[in-house]
Structure 1
């Protein structure tokens, strides 16, 4: 595995998310309930904050109940490239480094391979998900990404041995938190064991906490309760919860400790305007509308508005 600083940024444009399928969501909700039962404006503009509420969920014995994520200030989602500005919160590719003075979240693809790393993972076929013909499973929305298979302790150990150093590198670079992308693979690929996906997520959380990082759940609204209370995620990075009417799930689990990104195409498809999103009391305190390609400021197609 190449060092985090050498990894290529995640490809853009980002495909529109799909709402959870009924059967998969029901299965994951049942799994979450079981686990829980077992434990007894314009660029640079300041944001507004919807009606109050403290951080939701619980905390492990050695983790604080409140994330260090700022609840006010400007926020930007910069996976398509760095934009200058006075931001309180940014999400960036590890190769771009943190923004000095801002709460900086480091992107890590935790459950699929990066586009430039297929050959590296091909040397470890036992860690990849395979179809009925023995071929590695490719994400149809990201055809240059292979799906990892954390279905056994040995596989999880092998995956963590390769992704863990990327998490450590985020900490060494000075990031404040790490965003673990593609947590929803257990919902999107029936061949995967949801227990294994959640177990790997827990391993990542432990690794990041040991490195001094907070950890963000990425999407997967149906997993928010177990993500916060059981797996120990500190905050969430959420795409399109306004378009898919999922924001309440994150607010219930994380209180105000989440950031929200919306895209024009998915809002249009849902018949929802960004002003309606901003008026939603369940939206994140820091909510932005970004162009689907996440183009940096000053380049054609760039769009960033903040509530």
Structure 2
């Protein structure tokens, strides 16, 4: 599921960053998380700060911030990276052959966010994309984050049928194995249809957008044992999600552009 609004925080992120085949067709199993991996506290107070860092409000235990930012002191910190699409205007940061192109040689671009999709169709291409993303994972680890949030897992749904769910999963397994080798947990971002494969894909918890609004929270809560960190962007989403999920998963409402506290348009509400 992708919202038909500009991705919150995309314009601020300073780093760039599948379905014809059956989603259950997996060739390899991702490396399991080690004992050194720390999961986010279940139903812990959450703040989504990928649009700009600020002092977490009272009661917040979990914070997600862009890889360019420092983690919040004393909190469980999730490091946001755009792992499946190139940031708008930053195609030049990628090898040309790693940008997804159609049969006419034209780039395949996410129409809502104007981001070129990354090409995950072959093992060589997946390894090429992962090599760059791994440097960002290194940065997350060096800064002291506990987990990573690789965005746009569902890019295959916007790929003009060039990418499949299997491509996405084979690629995410490269990232999960590497994150675990750095003692980082790794989140599944959205994509409820793949939540049931989370163990094979090496994914530890879920970061979701609007699971209340779209009545999808249960799709994640079961497979991830309620280790779900959710952000809503509307009062409607909170009114749908809070009655059933408050105290079971983490849930917060933020403004669409997740601007820092004190900036115009800032919104933060809890159940």
TM-score range, shorter chain: 0.7 to 0.9
In 2, distance between residues paired with 1:254 and 1:282?
16
Q: Which structure: greater helix fraction?
A: 1
Deviation at 1:242, TM superposition (A): 0.9
- Pick aligned residue for 1:276 from 222, 230, 240: 240
**Structure 2 gaps, min length 5:** 1-8, 13-18
- 2:173 is aligned with 1:181: no
Give the match for residue 88 of structure 2. Answer: 115
Deviation at 1:185, TM superposition (A): 1.1
Whether the 8 Å contact between 2:43 and 2:227 is mirrored in structure 1 is: no
* Rg comparison, structure with higher value: 1
In 1, distance between residues paired with 2:172 and 2:32?
18
Give the match for residue 4 of structure 1. Answer: none
**Structure 1 gaps, min length 5:** 1-8, 13-23, 40-58
In 1, distance between residues paired with 2:86 and 2:215?
29
User: Per the alignment, do residues 67 and 175 of structure 1 end up closer, same or farther by CA in structure 2, a change over 3 Å counting?
Assistant: closer
Q: How does 1:193-272 map to 2 (within 5 A)?
A: 193-226=164-197, 228-264=198-234, 272=236
- 2:265 is aligned with 1:294: no
- 2:103 is aligned with 1:132: yes
Whether the 8 Å contact between 1:89 and 1:104 is mirrored in structure 2 is: yes
Whether the 8 Å contact between 1:67 and 1:257 is mirrored in structure 2 is: no
User: Per the alignment, do residues 169 and 208 of structure 1 end up closer, same or farther by CA in structure 2, a change over 3 Å counting?
Assistant: same
User: Per the alignment, do residues 61 and 300 of structure 1 end up closer, same or farther by CA in structure 2, a change over 3 Å counting?
Assistant: closer
Whether the 8 Å contact between 1:259 and 1:284 is mirrored in structure 2 is: no
In 1, distance between residues paired with 2:242 and 2:213?
12
User: Per the alignment, do residues 136 and 203 of structure 1 end up closer, same or farther by CA in structure 2, a change over 3 Å counting?
Assistant: same
Give the match for residue 43 of structure 1. Answer: none
- Pick aligned residue for 1:141 from 77, 100, 112: 112
Deviation at 1:67, TM superposition (A): 5.3
Length-normalised TM-score, structure 2: 0.85
Q: How well do the aligned residues superpose, as a CA RMSD in angstroms?
A: 2.4
